[in-house]
Amino acid sequence: MYLLNAQQMAAMDRYTIETLGIPGILLMENAGMAVVREINARFDNSTPVSILCGSGNNGGDGFVIARHLHLQGYPVTVFHGGLPQTNDSLMNFRLVEGLGVSMFPLEHFLETDPVLVIDALFGTGLSRPLEGLNAELLAKASEAPFRIAVDIPSGVCSSTGQILGVAFEADLTITMEYPKRGHFLSPGAEFTGELVVAPIGISPQSLPSQAPRLINFLEPKIPYRSILAHKGSCGHVLCVGGSTGKAGAIRLGAKAALECGAGLVTVASQKETVRSLQISEPEIMCLELPEENSGALRELFEFPADAMIIGPGGGRQLSNLLFYRDLLLSAECPIVLDADGLYCEEAERDMVLGILRKRKSPTILTPHPKEFERLTGISTKSLEPRKLDAVREWAEELDCCIVLKGTRTTIASAQGQVLLLDAPNPALAKGGSGDVLAGIIGSLLAQGFDIFEAAVEGCKIHALAGKIMQQQYGNHSGGPMKLINHLSEIFKEYTDENYYQNQ
């Protein structure tokens, strides 16, 4: 499913109406009926309905809704801003007026005690902050027992998710043809409520070629496993990181890689981390890094890894950071660069970016917003509204795959593909969740997935395991070790048993 901004949606509307000749009033009728169907499914016709109608086409949708609900026996009251400014909306206004539906100026809504409120004030084209009467109306409407937005809650920027002064707090949003970016970018996502996407007849022929896509169907692809498989045929993951006080991070990544099917997993770390791992995780092999990193680099350069994870818990000592950068330049296998492997100060940014540009082998970067800020200079405050475009631009610039972690993770390929994972889960809001993700992705790489496939499927697997953990432990009591314990359930559920029958 594609995510569109306001300009893209408007262009598709125009193409459908002006190029294909489909009447705009027909699209408006279809939009209004889509909302009516949702109301019919949820409320009987004794429910009082208050509809706020603006002067544009979003208000026209509201008039269509009012007409059909009135004819079905609902007690409907329309609050409007005067005569509509578009011909299609004006025609529907006249039809509602002719039926004798109760109609009042918008300000009269402030004197009511609404039950079900339908917001058809502004729609996807709004770009200015709302204030005065409009702000009062939305504040009042947001107090109703049940609230429905037509296309997008008024006050939410459909392109960025930013709040334009004040916004309608919907329980349900029915959007037309395609979801909008503002439905899934914060803080707009928190105002959307349940989202229903309704087809209304807009042609897909003018769909933008690089529109981001939404992942809301979490059915991951699992690596093929032959019945003849052995440890040497299932990939070897080398995990480089871990330091005093942060040995757990590389342990989590390595353990996740093993749980996701890697045949061999080795941790390369300092003596203290290696000793603790050899006791606590006997399945994981270890390589102790000497004090002099030049020798360590030579050994790791020759290490027979199918994929490498660099950075979890590695620490930010200058010697470690230089070591990671040398390893980036020398290693020929695919690399997942995470956590401290991504760290750089502003003065070092150009050098680090230069190293990433020079890498010839596949690379996946897995930053959280602060790490992305250090790497690119884009502040965390300004990132969310533009992250879909920013992550694409930097993935193309660095010729790599970027997984920008967050409430809704963004994944971009070097070829311009962008996906947004719609799987918010507060149970994952604990240190170590990202280390587990790095381990999952590294394991998929070692088992033969290409970098974009590994990133996408790894994020799905991580999200599904997080969902199971949330269901079992709630939002507060989960953690990365419990998350790892649920990975096997995902692999068991989504492995195609025909693999084995066909051997």
User: Residues 449-492: pLDDT tens digits?
Assistant: 999 999 999 999 999 999 999 999 999 999 999 999 999 999 99
Q: Does 94 belong to an annotated binding site?
A: no
Question: How many C-beta neighbours within 10 Å does residue 201 have?
Answer: 15
Q: Is 245 annotated as a binding residue?
A: no
* Residue 180 known to bind ligand: no
59 labelled as ligand-binding? yes
Distance from chain centroid for Cα 351 = 30
Alpha helices in 169-287 (DSSP H): 189-192, 247-259, 271-280
Helix, strand, coil percent values for the chain (each to nearest 5): 50, 15, 35
125 is in an annotated binding site: yes
What are 32-89's pLDDT values in tens digits?
A: 999 999 999 999 999 999 999 999 999 999 999 999 999 999 999 999 999 999 999 9
**434 has binding-site annotation:** yes
119 is in an annotated binding site: yes
Residue 500: pLDDT above 60?
no
Tell if the pTM clears 0.85, that is, is over it.
yes
- pLDDT tens, position by position, 164-174: 999 999 999 99
Residue 218 has pLDDT above 50, yes or no: yes
128 is in an annotated binding site: yes
61 labelled ligand-binding: yes
Is 129 annotated in some ligand binding site? yes
Confidence of residue 502 (pLDDT cuts 50, 70, 90): very low
- Taking alpha carbons only, the member of 375, 366, 369 closest to residue 343 is 375
Is 246 part of any known ligand binding site?
no
Query: Which of 108-112, 412-416, 441-445, 493-497 has the lowest average pLDDT?
Result: 493-497
pLDDT at residue 290 is higher than 90 = no
**pLDDT category, 296, cuts 50, 70, 90?**
low
- Cα gap 153→382, rounded to integer Å: 22
* pLDDT higher than threshold 90 for residue 400: yes
Our CA dihedral for 274, 278, 283, 289, rounded to 10 degrees, sits at 20
Beta-sheet strands, E only, within 14-154: 49-53, 76-80, 102-105, 116-120, 146-150
249 annotated as a binding-site residue: yes
- The reply to whether 57 sits in an annotated binding site is yes
pLDDT band at residue 317, thresholds of 50, 70 and 90? confident
Pairing of strands 194-198, 172-176: parallel
408 labelled ligand-binding: yes
368 is in an annotated binding site: yes
* pLDDT band per the 50, 70, 90 thresholds, residue 499: very low
| 442 touches 264 (CB < 8 A) | no
pLDDT in tens, 2-17: 999 999 999 999 999 9
Q: Binding site annotation covers 193?
A: no
Q: pLDDT-derived band of residue 154, with 50, 70 and 90 as boundaries? A: very high
CB atoms within 10 A of CB 113: 10
Q: Is 60 annotated as a binding residue?
A: yes
Please give the Cα distance from 492 to 472 (Å, whole number): 18
Each residue's pLDDT tens digit, 116-150: 999 999 989 999 999 999 999 999 999 999 999 99
Write down the pLDDT at residue 293: 55
32, 64 contact by CB (below 8 A): yes
**Residue 113 labelled as part of a binding site:** no
Q: How many C-beta atoms lie closer than 10 Å to residue 2's C-beta?
A: 15
Q: Which domains does the chain have, with CATH numbers?
A: 6-211 (3.40.50.10260), 233-501 (3.40.1190.20)
Q: Please check if 151 is assigned to a binding site.
A: yes
pLDDT of residue 292 exceeding 90, the answer is no
